[in-house]
Amino acid sequence: MTPPVFAHGHLRLYLLSLLAESAEGMHGYELMQALGDRFGGTYVPSAGTIYPRLAKLEEEGLVTKVADGRKTVYAITGAGRSELADREGELGDIENDVTDSVRRLADEVRTSVNDAMRTLKAELAAAAREARTDAREAGRTVRADAADSSSRGQLQQAEAAINEFRSALRSELRMSIARGNELTKETVDVLRVGLEELRKSILGK
């Protein structure tokens, strides 16, 4: 668990010190901004943190409040300055605690930013790998589709060439027989052997 920025009772004393530095008093929002500036923006107290403590300081007579239009101006009283003087040593310790808190909060912010950057880099790397994978898959699909389409076209042409050869050879054999030439077994064997050799030559067997 992250330790509190201010120890118990220290925030009220720090608010008194901020009001003591202002000759004209400060609005509640200005006090929140002043605290945020002291912490380099790493810690900005909420209204729910500041206003209850200002109300308590007013009850104790350490601050006064005056309406300024729609805002309220808080100013330190003589009693408030006396308490600051009495607790001057304690205020120095609070300043040291604030310095330590600023460093701790800065480290936490730095760690958070570094974690966020590492996460972002990992997500970008994963997205890049996924994009490359998708591109490779798409390329393989396109090449496969192209090769498949080309093979189908060549097969159709081969089938057409075979049918044309078959048709032409059958027609010529019939014409030869019609002219009185004999179709011998030797001729058929020559045809069968020739076709088998042609098949092996085409298929590389």
Distance of alpha carbon 166 from alpha carbon 171, whole angstroms: 8
What domains appear along the chain, each with residue ranges and CATH number? Answer: 10-86 (1.10.10.10), 133-203 (no CATH)
- Does the pTM surpass 0.85? The reply is no
Q: Torsions phi, psi of 121, nearest 5? A: -60, -40
Measure the CA–CA gap between 10 and 101, rounded to whole angstroms: 13
Q: Which of 57, 184, 148 is nearest to 65 (CA)?
A: 57
Residue 183's pLDDT is 67
Which among 165, 149, 169 is positioned nearest to 199, based on CA atoms?
Answer: 165
Question: Any idea which residue has 């800065």 for tokens?
Answer: 106
The per-residue pLDDT string of the chain (205 residues; one tens digit each, 9 = 90 and over) reads 344 567 666 788 889 989 998 888 899 899 998 888 877 776 777 888 889 999 999 999 999 999 888 889 999 999 999 988 888 878 777 767 666 766 776 676 667 666 666 676 667 666 767 777 777 777 666 565 655 667 777 777 777 777 777 777 777 767 667 666 676 777 776 777 777 777 777 766 5
Per-residue pLDDT at 166: 76
Residue-level pLDDT at 19: 92
Q: Which of 38, 62, 34, 67 has the alpha carbon at shortest distance from 50?
A: 34
CA separation for the pair 59, 87 (Å, rounded): 19
**Pairing state between β 26-27 and 63-68:** unpaired
Q: Are 12 and 56 in contact (CB under 8 A)?
A: yes
